[in-house]
Structures are given as C-alpha cells and as structure tokens.
Amino acid sequence: MVLAEPDLIGPLLVCPRCRSDLESGSGGLRCSAPDCAYHASPAFPETAGRPVLVDFEHSVVGRAAVASPAPAPSVRRGADALPAPLRRLVKPPNRVAARNIDLLLRALPGPAPTLLVVGGATVGNGVGAVYRDARVRVIGFDIVTSPVTQFVADAHRIPLRTGCVDAVLVQAVLEHVLDPAQVVAEIHRVLKDDGLVYAETPFLQQVHAGAHDFTRYTASGHRYLFRRFEELAAGPVSGPGTQLVWSVDHLVRGLTRSAFAGRATRAALCWLRALDRLVPPDFAQDDASALYFLGRRRDREMTEAEIIAYYRGAQGPA
C-alpha cells in the first residue's frame, strides 16, 4: 500500500479556518496567523499520532469526539464482517469503480502525481488500484483515524493548499456531509488546473450511517453538483436490480427488526443484480442505486440551460 510520506504532506497543510501556514506549538500544530482563533496553543490536537485539523466551531466533529475517538474503521462490521464468499453476495465487487479508477490513473500526469482521498478511512470498494500504484502518492483523511489516513479533517474545510493535488477520490462520502456543494467547491479549490475528480454518490438507497446520512442525487443533480468540471464519464454505478435488492433488504429489516435478516435476504436475492445488465442506460439513469462522475477541473460553470439539456433518462418532455 503506497501512502504519501509525512515530509511530502507537511508543506501542503494549512489552517482549516484561514488557510494560513501551520507551525508547531505546545502540544501540537497551530495556525501561524496571530489573529486566527487557532493561533493559540494547543490549537490542533493529535489523535492516534495524527493531527486533527478541524475548525471545531464549524464542524460536526467536536473536541470531545477527538479526545474519545470512535473505534478504528479497520474493524469489520456489517457485510464486511462476513466470510469472503458471503461478503461478495451481499456486497459484490464494484467493477464500475475499478474501470473508472483505471481511467483516472491512466490520465494522471507526471511521474509522481498526488491523489487525495476524501473520506478515506477505509479502502473503498473497487478503488484498491489507487493504493497499489507505486507511481501515485496517496493522501487520505477522514473525520476518524485509520491506517490509510494521515490526518483528521472535515471535508467542508480541507486543510490543504489551493491547487496542490492532481486528483481527488470521493466515493460514498457526499451523502454524509452537511453541505455537498461546499465540499465539491473545496475539491475544486485543492485541485491543480486540469486536475481530476472521481465521485460515487447514492441516488435510490436507504439511510445508512444513521444520523450522518443527509443527501441523495439524481443523475442531473449529481452532474450539476460538479458543474465546474468537464465531464469525462458519468452514469449508474448500479441499476434498478441492485436498487430492488436494497429495498427488499430494508423491508425485511423493518418487518423483522433485524439487520441480520435483511442482509441474509440480500444475499439470497443477489441474482437480482444481474437484471441491471438488461436495463437500457436511459432507464437505468432514472432508477439507479448510485451514480458516478469522472471529471476534469475547469473554471467555467455549467449554465442552467445546459443542465436541463443534459438529461439522459427515459422520460420525455413534460
């Protein structure tokens, strides 16, 4: 697994409040700007040996949570805790992500491009190639620590310099942030000119992660979220068959009050996912379980007329 070294990441870090340089203070890092609220030491604590670069006054992450961190996400739970054969039935490999990550890696420039993983406490389904490519320097952060993150941060205020990374991966994260548009604006900011972004976000999925699940997007809504990016590829990650499996899983959970019963039903009905292949792309666009977007940073913003013309689904004019 290839992660960027601390001596590479250190010069890229900035204060999440004012984006000034950081400096060492008593008990950890602090903002170098004397008039910043995070200049006084200790401004930014550490947890599990990693700096916590969070503007606590404007985040769901609180100092108390940092002092008593959640269990490490490396501990497998839910479908990830099942034996491999059953895990593949409940949570099959994401071949769409694997294909798109291959496209992203091929498009990355230079001998040592830097790729930022937003919400990267775990290695996402289908994106493992990012961590195996010896050419790519991976920087990962999340609101909890893990073996594949180098610092703790809130994606609404990414503590990195403007224009410092070549690509951003944000998989199954934007539904869990309060303001996805602000997070995407931050992604746009930290990317270099012509930098790449790969995102996957739910459309028709039930609530997961409890109180930390906020948003869903249609294909057009997802495209408009990334309106300051040129589209290289976009479409369903999974279609109506997968969406049906999700729905039956949660119906059984509700009837039995048992998450295990739901997951068992999902495994038994795994064959329904094969129906995704039989649904034409325009119908799948209107009934996808999740959507992806692969794009390149640009300054021009998509217009209102362009997003209306963008619709690719099966429904005709109203």
CATH number at residue 306: 3.40.50.150
Report the run of H or E that residue 104 belongs to, with start and end.
helix 95-107
**The last residue of a domain, from among 19, 47, 67:** 67
User: Strands of 229-238's sheet, edge to edge?
Assistant: 46-47, 50-53, 151-153, 137-142, 114-118, 165-171, 191-202, 290-297, 229-238
How far apart are the C-alpha atoms of 60 and 57, rounded to whole Å? 9
Same domain for 197 and 241, yes or no, is: yes
Average pLDDT, the chain: 91
Maximum C-alpha span of the chain: 63
Residues 128, 116: contact at Cβ < 8 Å?
A: no
Same-domain check for residues 50 and 182: no
Structure tokens at 37: 């609220």
Tell me how far apart the alpha carbons of residues 48 and 107 are, in angstroms, rounded to a whole number. 35
User: Are residues 26 and 166 both part of a single domain?
Assistant: no
Q: How many CA atoms lie within 13 A of 189 on its CB side?
A: 15
Range of the domain at 278: 78-310
Tell me: do 45 and 179 sit in the same domain: no
Same domain, 210 and 159: yes
Percent of the chain predicted with pLDDT > 90: 80
Structural domain contains residue 147: yes
Position 179 pLDDT exceeds 90:
yes
Residue type, 222: H
Our count of domains for the chain comes to 2
Please tell me whether residues 59 and 82 are part of one structural domain. no
Task: Judge whether 4 lies within some domain.
Answer: no
Whether 282 and 220 have beta carbons less than 8 Å apart is answered as no
Evaluate whether residue 33 is within a structural domain.
Answer: yes
pLDDT, residue 59, reads 92
Query: Are 253 and 121 members of one domain?
Result: yes
Using pLDDT thresholds of 50, 70 and 90, give the confidence band for residue 62: confident
Buried b (16+ CB within 10 A) or exposed e, 145-167: bbebbbbbbbbbbbbbeeebbbb
Interstrand relation of 22-25 and 28-31 (parallel, antiparallel or unpaired):
antiparallel
Which pLDDT does position 73 carry in this prediction? 46
Same domain, 89 and 25: no
What amino acid occupies position 26? S
- Report if residue 119 sits inside a domain: yes
Tell me, yes or no, whether 56 and 196 share the same domain: no
Is-above-0.85 flag for pTM? yes
Tens-place pLDDT, residues 94-151: 999 999 999 999 999 889 999 999 999 999 999 999 999 999 999 999 999 999 999 9
The type of residue at 173 is V
User: What's the angle, vertex CA 122, arms to CA 231 and CA 157, rounded to 5?
Assistant: 60
Whether residue 209 is found in the same domain as residue 256? yes
187 inside domain: yes
Contact assessment for residue 219 and residue 312, using Cβ atoms and an 8 Å cutoff: yes
Residue that is last in its domain, among 42, 67, 92 = 67
